[in-house]
Amino acid sequence: MRVLFLCTGNSARSQMAEAWLRHLSGGQVEVSSAGTEPKGLHPLAVQVMAERGIDLTGQRSKPVSEFQGQRFDWVVTVCDRARESCPVFPGARTLHWDLPDPAEVHGAQEAVLEAFRRARDELERRVGDLLKRLEGEEAPELL
């Protein structure tokens, strides 16, 4: 089972989703993330995932072009901008989650950090739901 998460910058939301699916599946799902305009891994995404015991430091921001021509079972866009410019991955099922970009929140550091925590927690919930769906499709391989 191969899953690709896409967002614009591949700096926070798609990176956290990738890490959650890898973690929650126990590494049983081959998961990647990419961006239509990669910006580099956001340090607050690294920080809030570390709060939950998940290390993002080995991940890097990647352009979606790096994955063109590859086969995926699922492609999940996590923002409207990525969905609008996402290339076609033949045979892949698609999901769209329009999640607010925590990197676009400005103001006090605590408010920005809280936006990253909300995104992290919402992605954990959604990725958990996706994993249940994947387990139903691929059982017993994912169990």
pLDDT tens digits for 49-58?
A: 999 999 998 8
| Per-residue model confidence (pLDDT) at position 126 | 96
2-136 maps to CATH 3.40.50.2300: yes
| Per-residue model confidence (pLDDT) at position 89 | 87
| Per-residue model confidence (pLDDT) at position 88 | 75
**Mean pLDDT across 13-18:** 97
pLDDT in tens, 97-120: 989 999 999 999 999 999 999 999
| Per-residue model confidence (pLDDT) at position 143 | 33
**Mean pLDDT across 26-53:** 95
Q: What is the DSSP string of 84-108?
A: HHPPP-TT-EEEE-----GGG--SS
Q: How far apart are CA 76 and CA 6, in angstroms?
A: 6
| Per-residue model confidence (pLDDT) at position 109 | 92
Domain segments of the chain as ranges = 2-136
| Per-residue model confidence (pLDDT) at position 141 | 41
The catalytic residue positions are 7, 79, 86
Using pLDDT thresholds of 50, 70 and 90, give the confidence band for residue 136. Answer: confident
Burial of 7: CB neighbours in 10 Å, binned 0-12, 13-18, 19+: buried
Length of the chain (residues): 143
pLDDT in tens, 56-97: 988 999 999 999 899 999 999 998 776 676 677 889 999 999
| Per-residue model confidence (pLDDT) at position 85 | 67
Q: How far is CA 95 from the centre of its chain?
A: 12
Whole-Å CA distances, 117 to 45, 47, 48, 50, 114: 8, 9, 6, 11, 5
Q: How far apart are CA 81 and CA 16, in angstroms?
A: 18
